[in-house]
Structure 1
């Protein structure tokens, strides 16, 4: 299995049955979680349920996952592992599991590395409270987790199954990389400014609260949850559309600006290149998928970037060359497309984040 065939994406409700089967392969019957537990974790903390997929042509298959919930507790207990408290500081990993036929190939290490990387990036976002990752493991897995940066905390009080569990933890770095200017480089406040205005102007833009994007897969009701219907019967986006990259949080479109359509999928990556692991894979054309349509001008966007016309991609139905839409702040993409010289801008519903 080559690394180019691996894709990491948030697990959707459609993949939960496959996840449960992998769980049964990896854990004894008295330790394996139920489908009800998986549904709870995915519906309540979909942005903490990461899957690893093996991609073959236009198909992908779940071969591993890691799932967590949040707790304000600083250690794992039965209570902290049976609830989900949004906005909490401890990420409680419930399981990391790889399909039996794909074990001992380094896939577990890659999956955990990707998961930690995403959480570390999210921890630097001022709108999250992530401080630590907690998990319990059997003693023979100590070396595996220590290589990933976890520290041994000793035997856990959690009793689950017949064997003892040991707690391990990893502290996340939530410090911001931006270095403030020394006092000598900051000009004194101008006379006559309203109280507090100068201090507000001196705050780094990185300290402003940024919304945390939720993927489409984290909404139990699916796309229907994200649509609102106007008095004239037009379906529009109920929530703000964001860049899906954890830690970016850039608002792309405000709520109510885009119209929802289900239409044929569009190839936005050259067939010989793997897609970005942060972006969900779209179905092949002529299968349909969900889109947000904005227009008639780029001025409707809060933040967007455009590529040059891409000659290596198939043209649109009208024969026009495609330009790709990317996040204007972090350049993540493609999030959508438009025709060269066109006035319609299409964002894939699967490739943007949502903020209520």
Structure 2
């Protein structure tokens, strides 16, 4: 397994609540970041929130949100084929990831109460399948610009849509970078992250590199990307999970896409179609964010955090959720 690298930029953003853990899964060990509640609480008394990252991301997508959830215990894995879990073998797919996350919950969640699962991008798809395959582990779902199938426009096949949506990400995985500064510059110039660049972005970029200078490269394995991408359109496990959706589910969407563009990943027509198909969904648009900054920026995390807090409160029976917007 690839080791967690405690670089200064990473240590700065994960903070004192954080500790790394590994969990035995099929084929090896899954890496997880764990943030304990602050102030410390009796073990098992604080609610647990599980944060699941996107298709070429890592658990370092989440520190901005974690900072706003001090009263909960946070568990955030690096998914199979990514970051410090990159050496876990395939096959990949939503069912495989869901089972890995279930193993992490069973090993690292100190209570026996269900957890709130928050999934960004592909992490939302994993969350839906996790809730279907392991329903007793999950209390509520919060899907962040993900979790509902991507809809091909007329004349575009599902395969073409999948490849077009994440084509830039696939190209990045094939690149090499001479220094960490070069990779930071790549992300600083990215249209979705440039204007929100911060110490969070720097740590996210630093953690995403493996190898040695001058041949550094992104940690996500290209085989993992291609093993997962097609399921985001009409994967069997996803569609079955949605058809059997039994957990309260909030769907938060961004008004801009992966390259800060309009239309977003889920345009109005897609939102309306999926809310009609699954009327129990609670839909809300997070203002002034794109597909990345909805979790990677402090202002995006500040908009997402109240929805997570309300999901946790409903599970504990001491709060009321927002009305559908």
**TM-score normalised to the size of structure 1?**
0.22
Larger RCO, structures 1/2 (Cα 8 Å, 6+ apart): 2
Q: Whose helix proportion is higher, 1 or 2?
A: 2
**TM-score normalised to the size of structure 2?**
0.24
Highest CA radius of gyration, 1 or 2? 1
Q: Whose strand proportion is higher, 1 or 2?
A: 1
